[in-house]
Amino acid sequence: MKAAVLGYGTIGSGVVEILEKNSALIERQAGRKVEVKYVLDLREFPGDPVNKYLVHDFDVIANDPEVDVVIETMGGTGAAYTFVKASLLAGKHAVTSNKALVAKYGCELLEIAREKKINFLFEASVGGGIPIIRSMFSALRGTNIKSVTGILNGTTNFMLTKMLKENRDYADVLAEAQALGFAERDPSADVEGFDACRKIAILASVATGKFVDFEDISTRGITDVTKEDMEAAAGLGLSLKLVARYEAMGEKAGAFVCPAALTSQNPLANVNGVVNGVLVDGEESEELLFTGPGAGKLPTASAVVADVVEAVIYSDRTVYGGWTDEKLQVEDISGIRRQYLITGTGAGAYVTEPMTRAEAEAKAAGGRVYPVL
Ligand code: HSE
């Protein structure tokens, strides 16, 4: 099997590295040798061994019948969409780490894959190296998923952890996350919650088999979370985290992304640093916690490579159907009746009796309000 990698950035270079370093292991597991034939990138990489694969024109890949698997690690929804769609239409399996692509065009790309009896796989698009999508598609078959709650953005979790534990400021820890290759090219996607929003939309679509549109999900990021809020929360035994949640609600989906105060009983409370955590509550499976590195070169690339091996093993059929374009109506469940942490009012931080978010906000009058989970 010959593979082409689109984009030689952090993830793409990690994928090439693992495919080469672990080629014997991969051959044994896949039953066939998997070789990189091309790497597409607009840039030059003087002195880098990638030069033996480097091409600048996607048509070289599209028109080469020897290429069976196209691996997209470019990001964005422009050329990435055009190239992945063209690859699938040409009968080539496609694997991606790109949540923006999956969240926006998943319905269409999955439909093409089903029609062509090939695979469009995207394990690395959510939770970095955590095998959450495959687990939900496969290990949780036959289970009714009641809810999925996640810390799904490594950058913000890394930032919040460092700000609290190392007493560092926001801009400083963001710069470190960027230098480590965790942050999105435009880090506002991380700190404004848009990245986590796309990821929970994907997990909700996986859970339901229907289309949960990220544009319908109420999303609030961490830009107004202060170190004082985190310290006040910690003083009350709570951890402030950027949380994304999906809940089954009959014919609807409940969802939100917002900073929340986790009690020490919440299994996600101790998910710190660039680590992600996903808590899947199934009617029959009960609560399952998946945790691991949510970003970073080799962890994310390992998830991409696992998909490549899966595509090679199931090269004659679509292994996971994914979801259809039937759209689920989404309800904002961040404001339901529950306890809220209130900070920044001058009255000291405190947790309310159960009330709606609107009531908590009225009570906070200009302070900040976090749901307690
Ligand atoms: N920027 C993302 C994060 C990368 O920090 O989680 C992984 O999707």
Q: What is the pLDDT of residue 232?
A: 96
Can you tell me whether residue 123 is helix, strand or coil?
Answer: helix
At residue 305, does pLDDT exceed 90?
yes
Separation of alpha carbons 313 and 98, rounded Å: 22
From the CA of 288, how far away is ligand 1's center (Å)? 22
C-beta 10 within 6 A of ligand 1: no
Checking DSSP bridges between strand 368-371 and strand 340-343, what pairing results, if any? antiparallel
From the CA of 59, how far away is ligand 1's center (Å)? 30
C-beta 183 within 6 A of ligand 1: yes
Q: What is the pLDDT of residue 265?
A: 97
Q: Using one digit for the tens of pLDDT, what is the confidence trace for 58-92?
A: 999 999 999 999 999 999 999 999 999 999 999 99
From the CA of 267, how far away is ligand 1's center (Å)? 21
- State the CATH class of domain 142-293+328-371: alpha beta
Read off φ and ψ for residue 5, nearest 5 degrees.
Answer: -105, 125
| Ligand 1 atom nearest residue 199's Cα | 8
Please report, rounded to a whole number, the percentage of residues in the chain having pLDDT higher than 70: 100
Q: What is the pLDDT of residue 205?
A: 98
C-beta 123 within 6 A of ligand 1: no
User: Right CATH number for 2-135+296-313 from 3.20.19.10, 3.40.50.12280, 3.40.50.720, 3.40.50.11720?
Assistant: 3.40.50.720
At residue 288, does pLDDT exceed 90?
yes
Q: What is the pLDDT of residue 169?
A: 87
Separation of alpha carbons 132 and 138, rounded Å: 10
Q: What is the pLDDT of residue 185?
A: 86
C-beta 193 within 6 A of ligand 1: no
C-beta 14 within 6 A of ligand 1: no
Nearest to 136 by CA among 200, 70, 219, 69: 200
Checking DSSP bridges between strand 275-282 and strand 252-262, what pairing results, if any? unpaired
| Residues carrying an active site annotation | 199
pLDDT interval class at 335 (50, 70, 90): very high
CA distances from 30 to 27, 298, 314, 319 (A): 5, 20, 9, 14
Arithmetic mean of pLDDT, 9-26: 98
Q: What is the pLDDT of residue 241?
A: 97
Arithmetic mean of pLDDT, 219-241: 96
CA distances from 366 to 305, 344, 345, 346 (A): 48, 8, 7, 10
- In what helix (H) or strand (E) does residue 204 lie, and over which residues does it extend? helix 194-208
> Which of 195, 197, 298 is the pocket-test mutation for ligand 1 (most atoms within 8 Å of CB)?
195
Which residue intervals of the chain bear CATH 3.40.50.720?
2-135+296-313
From the CA of 58, how far away is ligand 1's center (Å)? 26
| Ligand 1 atom nearest residue 152's Cα | 6
Which residue intervals of the chain bear CATH 3.30.360.10?
142-293+328-371
Read off φ and ψ for residue 213, nearest 5 degrees.
Answer: -85, 125
Nearest to 114 by CA among 97, 131, 89: 89
Arithmetic mean of pLDDT, 130-136: 98
